């Protein structure tokens, strides 16, 4: 059962919308290169649409729009529906953390007249991808007095950038015989940040010069790295790709492409929907949804309780009923079929770039292990919703059986007993510094997520 390419059905007007949406998405990607920046940008966009901080309100009524900001690293948007909360919500949930190099707590050192920042990589990366590429530093430094210094260096054309070096080709005979996993090892991912000594320093003169710049430009001392979260990410903006401009190459499509599709799908809901709509943008998915800002923390459940309290319908039992009655799309990118690596896929059950938003009944690895396996009944209802709304969709598995695998936040929300299925945009080069999507799939995701919010 082959699905057609979404572009073949577009009118001139549709194409215009696809390209306009892509521009808005690229702006979101370029402003949100970390989870913190994504939260900030999402709140900015939501406030412009009339969303208010849930905790600033004493009561709520149907039609109200609120957001919940969790520690500046995860955010949820809600539109209160006309039906009681006990009937459940329609939820779309994605994650806004992406693979990168995190600067260690004691990072700065000098070796052979070069100053370095030591890093610990975050998420599942191919380490050899991260050498020889301009990197930008983004993050927050928390000083002892409680002030936060925000860092973003390397995005403006006039900014300096940073890099991890690789061994020169001439001397890499031994290196090239190594397995991919160890061509570049984790501890080798140290970022060069300086090469000019401070004349009158006694020792570590290059490091001293770097510390001088940090002090002068940001008011940061070496000790302040102890309470900093600085992420090294590919420097530069997302770009159109292909002579036909059908694709986007950018950092962090996993999973900001689904996050942004969710945001647009929420903003397209006008007036008061039947069921309360919820958009979750979680942190820490790439390292197992852990920590206070990961999906395993209870902020979604807590927000639901706070909303019920403000609607005058909170009880422990009502909350349980609400959570188990929800319907959810766990929105995370799918592995796009790559003809260059055909042996990794099973073609009948693969997601193709351009054929629309993808549904994954299950993910997991080695016999579906760790996956949320969505109910057939729920998928049947979804097919009707997508077809009625004219959404181009496809279904897929995460590659060939026994080739590897992965998971999402789906299984965590399913713990409440709600219906959940994975759904996302196909990506090429997933988890590489620069990933590739097709604009049509983003467009179909927005349409599909919006239809789900209104009709599920």
Residue numbers at the binding site for Mn ion (CB under 5 A): 254-255, 332
Rounded to a whole number of angstroms, the minimum distance from the CB of residue 74 to Mn ion is 14
In the complex, what is the shortest distance from the CB of residue 398 to Mn ion, in angstroms, rounded to a whole number?
11
Q: Is the peptide bond before 192 cis (omega within 30 degrees of 0)?
A: no
Phi-psi region of 271 (alpha: psi -120 to 50; beta: other; left: phi over 0): left
Query: 107 vs 294, which CB is nearer to Mn ion?
Result: 294
In the complex, least distance from residue 6 CB atom to Mn ion, rounded to whole angstroms? 22
Instruction: Write the DSSP string, 119-135.
Output: EEEESS--GGGGSSS-E
Q: Please list, residue by residue across 333-346, b when 16 or more beta carbons sit within 10 angstroms of its beta carbon and e when fewer do.
A: bbbbbbeeeeeebe
| C-alpha dihedral, 343 to 345 to 349 to 352, nearest 10° | -110
Closest contact distance (angstroms) between CB of 429 and Mn ion is 12
Q: Which is nearer to Mn ion, 93 or 194 (CB)?
A: 93
- Measure the CA–CA gap between 174 and 161, rounded to whole angstroms: 30
Phi, psi dihedrals of residue 352, rounded to the nearest 5°: -110, 140
Nearer to Mn ion, 255 or 441 (CB): 255
Q: Which is nearer to Mn ion, 6 or 257 (CB)?
A: 257
CB of 445 to Mn ion, least distance (A): 14
Can you tell me whether residue 50 is helix, strand or coil?
A: coil
Q: How far is the CB of 224 from Mn ion (least distance, A)?
A: 30
Closest CA to 344 of 397, 286, 395, 393: 397
Cα separation of 431 and 305, whole Å?
35
The pairing of beta strand 419-424 with beta strand 327-331: parallel
Residue with smaller CB distance to Mn ion, 129 or 143: 129
**Cβ of residue 29: shortest distance to Mn ion, in angstroms?**
15
Q: Are strands 277-282 and 405-406 parallel, antiparallel or unpaired?
A: unpaired
CB 254, min distance to Mn ion, A: 4
Report the residue number, 16 or 120, with the smaller CB distance to Mn ion: 120
The H-or-E segment that residue 70 falls in is strand 65-70
**Cβ proximity to Mn ion, 76 vs 408, nearer residue:** 408
User: Other CB atoms closer than 10 Å to residue 152's CB: what's the count?
Assistant: 14
CB of 447 within 8 A of CB of 389?
yes
Q: Give 153 or 259: the residue with its C-beta nearer to Mn ion.
A: 259
């Amino acid at each position: 059962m082959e699905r057609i390419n979404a572009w073949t059905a577009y009118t001139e007007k549709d194409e215009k919308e696809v390209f306009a949406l892509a521009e808005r998405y690229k702006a979101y990607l370029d402003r949100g290169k970390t989870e913190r920046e994504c939260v900030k940008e999402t709140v900015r966009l939501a406030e412009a649409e009339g969303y208010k901080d849930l905790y600033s309100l004493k009561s709520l009524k149907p039609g109200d729009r609120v957001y919940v900001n969790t520690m500046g690293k995860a955010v949820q948007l809600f539109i209160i529906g006309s039906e009681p909360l006990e009937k459940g919500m329609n939820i779309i949930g994605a994650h806004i953390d992406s693979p990168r190099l995190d600067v260690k707590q004691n990072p700065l050192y000098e070796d052979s007249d070069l100053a370095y920042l030591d890093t610990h990589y975050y998420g599942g990366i191919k380490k050899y991808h991260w050498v020889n590429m301009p990197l930008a530093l983004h993050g927050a430094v928390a000083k002892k007095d409680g002030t936060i210094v925000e860092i973003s260096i390397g995005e403006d054309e006039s900014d300096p950038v940073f890099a991890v070096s690789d061994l020169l080709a001439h001397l890499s005979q031994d290196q090239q015989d190594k397995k991919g996993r160890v061509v570049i090892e984790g501890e080798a991912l140290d970022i060069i940040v300086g090469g000019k000594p401070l004349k009158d320093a006694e020792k570590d003169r290059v490091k001293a010069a770097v510390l001088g710049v940090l002090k002068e430009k940001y008011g940061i001392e070496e000790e302040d790295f102890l309470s900093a979260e600085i992420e090294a990410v590919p420097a530069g903006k997302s770009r159109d790709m292909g002579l036909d401009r059908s694709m986007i190459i950018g950092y962090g499509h996993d999973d900001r492409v689904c996050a942004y599709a969710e945001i647009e799908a929420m903003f397209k809901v006008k007036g008061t929907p039947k069921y309360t709509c919820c958009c979750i943008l979680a942190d820490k998915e790439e390292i197992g949804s852990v920590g206070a800002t990961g999906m395993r923390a209870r902020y979604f459940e807590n927000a639901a309780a706070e909303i019920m309290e403000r609607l005058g319908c909170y009880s422990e039992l009502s909350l349980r009923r609400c959570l188990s009655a929800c319907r959810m799309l766990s929105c995370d990118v799918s592995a796009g079929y790559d003809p260059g690596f055909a042996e990794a896929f099973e073609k009948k059950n693969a997601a193709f770039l351009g054929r629309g938003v993808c549904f994954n009944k299950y993910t997991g690895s080695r016999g579906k292990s760790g996956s949320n396996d969505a109910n057939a009944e729920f998928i049947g209802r979804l097919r009707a919703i997508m077809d009625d709304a004219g959404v181009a969709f496809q279904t897929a598995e995460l590659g060939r059986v026994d080739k590897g695998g992965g998971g999402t936040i789906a299984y965590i929300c399913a713990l409440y007993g709600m219906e959940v299925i994975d759904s996302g945009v196909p990506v090429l080069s997933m988890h590489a510094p620069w990933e590739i999507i097709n604009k049509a799939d983003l467009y179909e995701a927005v349409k599909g997520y919006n239809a789900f919010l209104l009709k599920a």
